[in-house]
Structure 1
Amino acid sequence: MKFISVFLERPRILFLTLAFILLSGISSLLSVPIQENPELAERWGNVSVFYPGASPERIETQVINDLEIKLREIVEIDELDSIISQGYSKTHIELEDSVPFGKIEETWSRIQGKVDQIIPPDNVALVLNRTAGPPITLEYAIDWNGDGEPPLIMMSRLAQQLKRKFSSISLTKETAVYGATDEEIVVEIDSAKMSSLNLTYQDVAKAISSFDNKKPVGVVSDDRSEYLIRLKDNINSPQKVGEIPIKVLNNSEIIRIQDIGSVSIQPGTPIEDIFLYNGKKVISVSTTGTMSQRVYDYVDRVEAVVEEMREVLPEEFSIEEIYDESLYVSSKFSELIKSFSLAAFFVLSISFFLLGIRPGLIVTAILPFSVSLVLLGCQLIGLPLHMTSITGIIIALGLLIDNGIIVVEDYKFRRSQGLSIKESINETLIQLTTPLAAATGTTVFAFMPIVTGEGSSVEFVGGLAITVIMSIVSSLVLALIMVPVLMSYMEKIPYFANIKVHEEGYNNERLHAQYRKFLTWAFDVPRRAILISLSLPVLGFLLFGTIEKDFFPSSDRDMFRVHIDLPENSSSNKTAEKAKKIRKEIIESNLIEIEKDYWFVGRWMPRVLMNIVGGKEKTGSNNSAQAVFFAKDYYEMIENLPDLSRLIVSKNPDLVVYIDSFYSGPPFFSDIRYDIFGDDENVLVELGSELELIINNAPDISHTRSEATNSNTNVEFEFDSSNISLSGKNTELMVNELFAANNGLLISSMLDSNIEIPIRLKGISNSSDLTGGSNSLSIPSSNNIDLIGNYSTTSLNKSTSTITRISSQRVNIVEGWVWTGKLASETEMYIKDEIERFKSNLPPGYTLRQSGEAEVRGESQSQIWSSAIIYIFLITIGLVFALNSFRETILILSVALLSIGLSFMGLKIGFQNFGFIATIGAIGIIGLSINDSIIVLSHIKERAKKSLMTKTDLIDVVIRSTRHIITTSLTTLGGFVPLIFASIFFRPLAWAMSIGVLGATLTALLYIPAMYIWMKKVKN
């Protein structure tokens, strides 16, 4: 009270304090980082192994075994999965959820150290990629507008130039180029001419290398000066390469490379990476800004760089923006501002109507000051404004004035009893400080599991909980300090001199009489009130089994994705042809009006959204393509996407096609997934086929896949050892010649401007021959020319294309995808019994594990509930401290339990699924629901201390509490209503908490008094 007296007696200090709060909020709003999504810890990565020509078994034996052993020494690694294919493997790494943000960088550095300790075979490369982090901020397409075929080499150079410019922009995290070609100087040799000269590819390679003058020579100096000795680079054009001598005949005739082959600058082959924009082949350049910055400022810097490059670009080329994250940020913030304004309107309208002008003005004043304190808090702790943190402020709008309303109503009650202003303030603070602090504390503890829980799901919504906590704590401070002081000032204003403060607000004597009559009837037999208040929560629990389950709601982006898989051995060019065909079918279907689209062919989609993992490498996925389509109308897209998906799948029975909207939440790669662990490859294939059939027979399944059944076709050479021995040939020479003729040898490089172009030596391939003409490859012989085909036989061999390992064990991954618009949980329930029977019949040594969406969903749910248990115990301790009674604490905790049933009822009424966001709502409503009950119970206890309380006295207390209970409930509801209509992502939470708040009103006004009557044996 002494602290309050300072503001009562010295109003200048109060106004200066309020001015400081307001200015701090404005300053923070202008400087706090703004981005679309919260930052998630970078827990995902992979190690790519490039081993050209090696079989999966060879890569597993020579590289992956040692790699996994080394990586297992890092205790922070949770999952270690390897997918090994022909010439390439990828070991996926996922860190433990318990690894905090501060140790992520250190952990990845240690992982890099372990990778560097691996000593691979010659020509084998190991690359560590981190596939998490912020999504792409801006993406551009470099297009050719001239005549003829696009000059991919020139376009690729322009793309690399733009990429370098992006890298120099401040706060750029990473840049990337998609669809670019690898430029090479290709020396194609006629093997017959070469062999007639008794030369091999190795001889030609040595000849070219010997003329490469990139070696330092030294310096020459005397007493007065020093000069660097340089050799002029004699490989500075393809023509110079062709002029390199490779053999001298008869001491006079020089044979040059151009005499037995050709030299030219060509795109690298085979083509691994193609980017299509609106069906046209272009080169794409993307840039990703760091988190914790104002995305608009970063976009402005990038656009300035692009504009500079456009000015000097030849007119045949153009740079077009194809993706801008800031547009979605602006749209989302616009929607959030509308929601904020609408929520504020609801809150203030209800306050003015139910409380009156004077209390309404004071309660209104709390909003800007509370929000300013929240923004200041965001600035101090470094929390950016994004979709979850701002949603937390919107949710808290109704809560911000709850404490203020309770203080105002209690103050009005004291004044109605004839107390002076100071006495009323003093009594109000004495009576309400502890229960309000307890109520605020329970709400804080209810949201704390969302702040302190582990895992990406919790990190995603953590900002919401932080802003809610900061909001209600600031509102408590303002309610206990600012509200009483302002009420005293308002009473001194002449305009309000003739208005009694306790008579302000809506009054209806008839309604008052009917309400008293109802309470008398309900409390006359307390079971009546208890049954009425329990009806909705119990019904919610009973209906929970009928609520559909999902993980996270769909994204509210006007984007959908298309994934296609062709048969193994398909090239990127063939995949691009199919992508164009499917694109045409989507547009001609007229189901969804398409604004634009782009395809990543030969690679997985990069990080266009927060939960997309992968896409950095362009190796190992030539038969795959993934696309992003932008719809003109979001709701048309959502409505017609299931029909589009079925239509395109029916038109392409030879492909695997998957079409769906983007989802929110942490990444997972399939709707339904089971992992079969075992050692025998044949048994794994057989079990996988059986399990795949079980999943495929379930309803709503669009397609399935068993990893172990994947196979590809290889060309297999078998040397005749007897023939080779009799002829005196060298098997190693033949192997090297085959490698050089097909893959080519990287023997040197040429510097062109600021680009180093590799020089590749290879044979002239025969495109009509599946083996590339390898059988007719000539080799030196005593009889002038011999053919490799004379010493070998060639056959086509079909073999398993991939080996999959999880935690160093071989595994067959069986996956299933549901049709667009359907839920995986329903299919899982349908096949549950069959899966159990399959599991019980597994051979000894073979085990089954469920993964996919179900695993991620279960982990996320368990993480937050396990964290919630601790805070529920802390809530219990706080209630015992505030109420000084175990029985009353149990009574309040029973209200928390009932609120969970109310949240289920809200999901049912709003036709929402139960997933992670709904779980957040159920946990949050625990804290909100008991606030009103604590206040009502404290009012009842205050009255009981004065004299023996009858049921009539208790009804008077309930009626006195009703105004502010209803007002706080309606204002809280006003904060959720905009989210119900404007936010697809948070709609489950809004429905769960809205109905929970309304139900909590009945609980506070009926259940608490009725239980008190029963516990204390209150008489009539």
Structure 2
Amino acid sequence: MKLLEQAISRARATVSILLFVLIAGVVARYLISVDLNPDVTVPVVMVTVTHQGISPEDANRLLVKPLEIELKSLDGVEELTTRAQEGSAFAVVEFEIDIDISAALADVREAVNRAKAEFPNDTDEPIVNELSASPEPTLVIAFSGEQLTERELFHIVRNLRLEIESLPEILQANLSGDREEVVEVLLKPSALEHYNITADELLKTVAANNLLVPSGEYDTASGRFGVKVPGLIEGREDLMGLPVKSNSEGVVTLADVADVRRTFKDPTTFSHINGRQAMAIEVFKRNQANAIKSVASVKALVEGSVDTLPRGVQIDYIFDASDFALQMVNELQGNILTAVALVMVVVVAALGLRSGLLVSLGIPFSLFGATIVVYLLGYSFNFMVIFGLLLALGMLIDGAIVVVEYADQKTLSGMSLRDAYVTAVHRMFMPVVASTATTLAVFLPLMLWPGVVGEFMSYLPVTVFAVLSWSLLYALLFVPVLGVLFGRKKAQLAPTTDAPIRGKAYLGKLGTAYGKFIGWALAQPVLTIVSVLLLLVTIFVLYGTFGRGVDFFVETEDRYGIVSVQAQGNLTIADMARLSREVELRVMAVPHVKTVYAASRGSSIGGNLERAKDQISNILVELGRASDRDRTSREVYAGVRRAVAGMAGIDVTVNPVQGGPPVGKDIQLQLSSSNRGIMREEARRIRYYLENQMTGLRDVEDTLPLPGIEWELVVDRAEAAMLGVDTLQVGNMVQLVTNGIKIGEFRPDDAEEEVEIRVRYPAADRGLFALDELRVTTPSGAVPVSTFVERKPRPRLDSIQRIDRSDVLFVKANAEDGVLPDDKVKEIAAWLETADINPAVKIAFRGANEEQEDSIAFLGVAFLMALFLMLILMVMQFNSFYQAFLILSAVVMSTAGVLLGLLVMQQPLSVLMSGIGIVALAGIVVNNNIVLIDTYNHLRREDSHLSALDAAVSAAITRLRPVLLTTITTAVGLLPLACSVSLDFIHRQIEVNGELASWWQQLAAAIVNGLLFSTILTLVFTPAMLVLPEFLRVRVMPRLSGVPTQQSD
């Protein structure tokens, strides 16, 4: 109390500190960066190793396994996923969440360098990159223009991409729809035959004349001079003039037997924007970079180059994360200010203007104080932080209400303002500290939530901690100072000790009615207690019988969606583009679809390893804002599914890009085994069951090898050796009729990157059967390749995927709208137990189910930990196990209230949102019990002759107003969101079932329903339980022993 006395005596200094906090909070809010999502850095590193022409089996044996040995030995590796495919191998290393990404990158690079020693000699240099936490880009920039040539558009996009990648906040910028430049040397078969030159001879000659020749230096009396022998091809003229063969008639140059042209490689990707052919830059920000600032930097760079671009270039921005982030953040801030206004109105109406403003000033003080903490911690001002402020908004004035309300009672009794507020702080110090401590005790375990989900959600408890800590300081230090300075002493009243009468005076008819009811209820406490318990049991039974089940996250209003187009067969890139465009046109015709961006399977849209093997394109769909639509996003995407249903030859899946922690498809079964054949059979069985014997599922897919064949060229090594031919020569001949042989590179003056030089036959002379016409040089002369090579078709193995050094396959599916994935997981698990799965195959549920089980396990532990911490705090304060457990009974009531709300609204229980709401409620609802029981104990200590019944009635009526006021102020700020309404009076927007409300409705509803329900029962149940021991001792026990009972007055 000495600190309080000093603060009141030096009121000006105390007020100056308060003003400093408010000003510093405003400055911190101005300086803090704004972002949509929390700054969660997922330490994931990707290794890419390419080897031209290597088969998936060889890539698995020669590239993947050496990588696995080195990478799996690193400290902190959570999971290692690898994939071997034609021409390359990938390794994705996921580290534990607390590993520094820079250290992880360094460790992976060292491990890859060790593994390189085991790679084949001609393997390309491995690429090690940080992997973006999100499979979707931060921004897509599409460039199109009918008046521009492909080369002009390519140069524009490529140069901008290099500039964008140079920005510090950008992780990578990938091109889609482009083609690499190449200098193509097209051989003339007739000319080669005329000059009696084989392709093999030509290749050797060109390679021998395109070398970097080190020539050294020599010293003379005049000094040291370098010697240079130009040997590299520097341009088209050098290439055309290369001598191929000479004889007495002259020299045959490359220009005599080939056409040389600068062109593009065969297309491997495509991209379309609203049906138009385009080139696109898919921009990914770094994990810790701010989305809004990143997009602003990229747009500023692009807009700054517009004046230098040719006329006719059209630029479209798609998937703009900053626009959505700003909308969500501004809307949530507007809801906070609206909630502040509502809370202040309630407080002023209940306490009067001066007392109401005194309490309400704690709102900006605590919110700005918490903003300072958030800024100092380096957090962004994201929607988790903002909702933490909104959640704590109603709770932060509880302590101030209790102190001001008690001080008002004392001033009514004739006490001076100074004495009244000092007495109020002295009297209510322990209840206020205990109630705040119990609330913080509940949020403390949430800070320890492990994994990505925990890192994502941790911003919420940190923010609540900061707000409530500042609010405690305000209630116990600044409220008395401001109350003494600006309070007005009310008219003196005659001192009275009739607490129930005062309570009635405060609440009028409500207080009178409650006084009569509580007097009747406490006169028969057993009946009251049994009735409440029966009600709680009934709710739990009804929910267990009629509840809608469990879901991991909540269904959000999603502005973006991905349409995946899949087709099997040996399709050319032109076939893929044509099929994709047919789907795009149908999607564009659906109402409320704003933009359609299609990218081929080589694009980064939708992730890398998550992509289906038979996928030919991903179509990114952007809808208009929810406020501009008369349909929900779910209804729009259902319309898209109907529009693309039944298209011949292709399968189309439509999925919204949902918010929250990324978990992939609803249902994911991982099969692992050392026997690939058995594993594939079981994967086919499971897929057949999901597709044909289960209802409520869609978009079923697996990662089995796609049906198809590949041609294997078997070299008769003995025959080839007799002719003096090796396998390398045969391979070179094959490349001449496929993609061509790379013979070198050169850098044109108008290009930033080197351009490959490739030799091959013209299109008319290319193909598998053109091998019959090829001849290879031998000591005995030119011999047809078909002499010692046999073509054999065999089943194609497109890729091999492994996790933690075990071969794996996945079977995945989505649940239909209205079907809970958790119900389907249980159904599948029940079938697996009776399906006689081969014991050599291990099956595990991954994705949302895995995250759901982990989250349920943690929340269960966190809930028990919170209860234990609260129990310790309550026993320390009240020195009674009975009263401590009685305080915790409010947790059961609040949980019943949450389940009752879900039952009435027919919503599933969200593990994340409803679960956090239940845990958070545990720290909120006990405050009412603390105040009631503390007042009851105080009355019994002041008057030892006061019966438990009279003390309980007096405590209940006396604390009715603060209990109702704290409950209403906590609920009123969240009530709009709980009703799926976003009230933003600052921006003059009222939106029902919008994007913001869809995120927070379940969490807000859980807190509002649980709080209101438990408060009503607490005002009856807790007083009854306080009366029960004396009632049993005085009334029941004597009857059981045959002793006459005393009648109470």
Report the TM-score when normalising by structure 1.
0.91
Q: CA deviation at 1:631?
A: 1.2
State how 1:445-460 maps to structure 2 within 5 Å: 445-460=441-456
State how 1:296-311 maps to structure 2 within 5 Å: 296-311=292-307
| CA-to-aligned-CA distance 1:905-957 (integer Å, 9 cap, x gap) | 23333443322122111111111111111111111111111123321332121
| CA-to-aligned-CA distance 1:168-206 (integer Å, 9 cap, x gap) | 445444433332221111222245644665655554344
**CA distance in structure 2 between the aligned counterparts of 1:492 and 1:223, rounded to whole angstroms:** 105
State how 1:153-164 maps to structure 2 within 5 Å: 153-164=151-162
State how 1:617-1016 maps to structure 2 within 5 Å: 623-634=615-626, 636-641=631-636, 643-648=638-643, 650-696=645-691, 697-720=693-716, 724=720, 727=723, 729-753=725-749, 754-764=751-761, 766=763, 771=768, 773-780=770-777, 785-820=782-817, 822-838=819-835, 841-915=836-910, 916-947=912-943, 948-950=945-947, 951-980=949-978, 981-982=981-982, 983-1016=997-1030
| Other-structure match for 1:259 | 256
| CA-to-aligned-CA distance 1:275-321 (integer Å, 9 cap, x gap) | 22112222222444556676555544433322221111111434333
| Other-structure match for 2:48 | 48
Q: CA deviation at 1:900?
A: 2.5
User: Aligned in 2, Cα 1:868/1:47: closer, same or farther, shift over 3 Å?
Assistant: farther
Report if the CA contact (8 A) 2:186-2:761 is conserved: yes
| Other-structure match for 1:86 | 86
The amino acid that maps onto 2:244 is I
Q: CA deviation at 1:46?
A: 3.2
Within the candidate set 115, 122, 132, 2:112 is matched to 115
**CA distance in structure 2 between the aligned counterparts of 1:232 and 1:500, rounded to whole angstroms:** 111
| Other-structure match for 1:15 | 15
The amino acid that maps onto 1:934 is I
Report if the CA contact (8 A) 2:529-2:1021 is conserved: yes
Report if the CA contact (8 A) 2:515-2:953 is conserved: yes
* Residue 384 (1) aligns with residue 374 (2): no
**CA distance in structure 2 between the aligned counterparts of 1:567 and 1:186, rounded to whole angstroms:** 31
The amino acid that maps onto 2:999 is F
Report if the CA contact (8 A) 1:44-1:94 is conserved: yes
Residue segments in structure 1 that go unaligned for 5+ positions in a row: 607-611
Q: CA deviation at 1:620?
A: 9.9
| Other-structure match for 2:526 | 527
Report if the CA contact (8 A) 1:140-1:286 is conserved: yes
| Other-structure match for 2:403 | 407
State how 1:187-586 maps to structure 2 within 5 Å: 187-190=185-188, 193-194=191-192, 199=197, 201=199, 203-212=201-210, 235-250=233-248, 252-269=249-266, 271-290=267-286, 296-492=292-488, 507=506, 509-531=508-530, 533-534=532-533, 537-545=536-544, 546-586=547-587
Partner SS, residue 35 of structure 1:
coil
Partner SS, residue 549 of structure 2:
coil
Q: CA deviation at 1:724?
A: 4.1
State how 1:30-41 maps to structure 2 within 5 Å: 30-41=30-41
Q: CA deviation at 1:601?
A: 0.8
- How many residue pairs get aligned? The number is 999
User: Aligned in 2, Cα 1:543/1:603: closer, same or farther, shift over 3 Å?
Assistant: farther
Report if the CA contact (8 A) 1:190-1:764 is conserved: yes
User: Aligned in 2, Cα 1:807/1:952: closer, same or farther, shift over 3 Å?
Assistant: same
User: Aligned in 2, Cα 1:532/1:223: closer, same or farther, shift over 3 Å?
Assistant: farther
**CA distance in structure 1 between the aligned counterparts of 2:890 and 2:721, rounded to whole angstroms:** 90
Partner SS, residue 710 of structure 2:
strand
Q: CA deviation at 1:468?
A: 1.3
Q: CA deviation at 1:339?
A: 0.8
Report if the CA contact (8 A) 1:25-1:373 is conserved: yes
**CA distance in structure 2 between the aligned counterparts of 1:673 and 1:170, rounded to whole angstroms:** 36
The amino acid that maps onto 1:876 is L
User: After the TM superposition, which of the residue ranges 451-460 and 75-84 deviates more from structure 2?
Assistant: 75-84
User: After the TM superposition, which of the residue ranges 344-353 and 279-288 deviates more from structure 2?
Assistant: 279-288
The amino acid that maps onto 1:108 is L
Residue segments in structure 2 that go unaligned for 5+ positions in a row: 983-996, 1035-1047
User: After the TM superposition, which of the residue ranges 15-24 and 772-781 deviates more from structure 2?
Assistant: 772-781
**CA distance in structure 1 between the aligned counterparts of 2:642 and 2:265, rounded to whole angstroms:** 37
Q: CA deviation at 1:112?
A: 2.3
* Residue 141 (1) aligns with residue 142 (2): yes
| CA-to-aligned-CA distance 1:357-386 (integer Å, 9 cap, x gap) | 221111111111111101111111111101
User: After the TM superposition, which of the residue ranges 974-983 and 451-460 deviates more from structure 2?
Assistant: 974-983
The amino acid that maps onto 1:704 is V
| Other-structure match for 1:609 | none
User: Aligned in 2, Cα 1:525/1:395: closer, same or farther, shift over 3 Å?
Assistant: same
User: Aligned in 2, Cα 1:530/1:664: closer, same or farther, shift over 3 Å?
Assistant: farther
Partner SS, residue 771 of structure 2:
coil
The amino acid that maps onto 2:598 is W
| CA-to-aligned-CA distance 1:617-669 (integer Å, 9 cap, x gap) | xx996843212111125362524245335424532253232102122233233
User: Aligned in 2, Cα 1:178/1:891: closer, same or farther, shift over 3 Å?
Assistant: same
Report if the CA contact (8 A) 1:595-1:632 is conserved: yes
The amino acid that maps onto 1:519 is I
The amino acid that maps onto 1:473 is S
Partner SS, residue 770 of structure 2:
coil
User: After the TM superposition, which of the residue ranges 932-941 and 312-321 deviates more from structure 2?
Assistant: 312-321
The amino acid that maps onto 2:1007 is M
Report if the CA contact (8 A) 1:355-1:504 is conserved: no
Report if the CA contact (8 A) 1:711-1:801 is conserved: no
Report if the CA contact (8 A) 1:603-1:621 is conserved: no
Report the TM-score when normalising by structure 2.
0.89
Report if the CA contact (8 A) 1:185-1:264 is conserved: yes
Q: CA deviation at 1:94?
A: 2.4
Q: CA deviation at 1:784?
A: 6.1
The amino acid that maps onto 1:921 is G
**CA distance in structure 2 between the aligned counterparts of 1:797 and 1:1011, rounded to whole angstroms:** 79
**CA distance in structure 1 between the aligned counterparts of 2:340 and 2:786, rounded to whole angstroms:** 83
Report if the CA contact (8 A) 2:132-2:287 is conserved: no
Report if the CA contact (8 A) 1:575-1:624 is conserved: yes
Superposition CA RMSD, Å: 3.1
The amino acid that maps onto 2:642 is L
State how 1:60-99 maps to structure 2 within 5 Å: 60-96=60-96, 99=97
Q: CA deviation at 1:893?
A: 2.5
User: After the TM superposition, which of the residue ranges 81-90 and 969-978 deviates more from structure 2?
Assistant: 81-90
**CA distance in structure 1 between the aligned counterparts of 2:809 and 2:232, rounded to whole angstroms:** 54
Partner SS, residue 859 of structure 1:
helix
User: Aligned in 2, Cα 1:536/1:196: closer, same or farther, shift over 3 Å?
Assistant: farther
**CA distance in structure 2 between the aligned counterparts of 1:108 and 1:500, rounded to whole angstroms:** 76
User: Aligned in 2, Cα 1:576/1:31: closer, same or farther, shift over 3 Å?
Assistant: same
The amino acid that maps onto 1:438 is A
User: After the TM superposition, which of the residue ranges 83-92 and 996-1005 deviates more from structure 2?
Assistant: 83-92
**CA distance in structure 2 between the aligned counterparts of 1:309 and 1:216, rounded to whole angstroms:** 42
User: Aligned in 2, Cα 1:823/1:888: closer, same or farther, shift over 3 Å?
Assistant: same
The amino acid that maps onto 1:815 is K
User: Aligned in 2, Cα 1:926/1:508: closer, same or farther, shift over 3 Å?
Assistant: closer
User: After the TM superposition, which of the residue ranges 751-760 and 928-937 deviates more from structure 2?
Assistant: 751-760
Q: CA deviation at 1:457?
A: 1.2
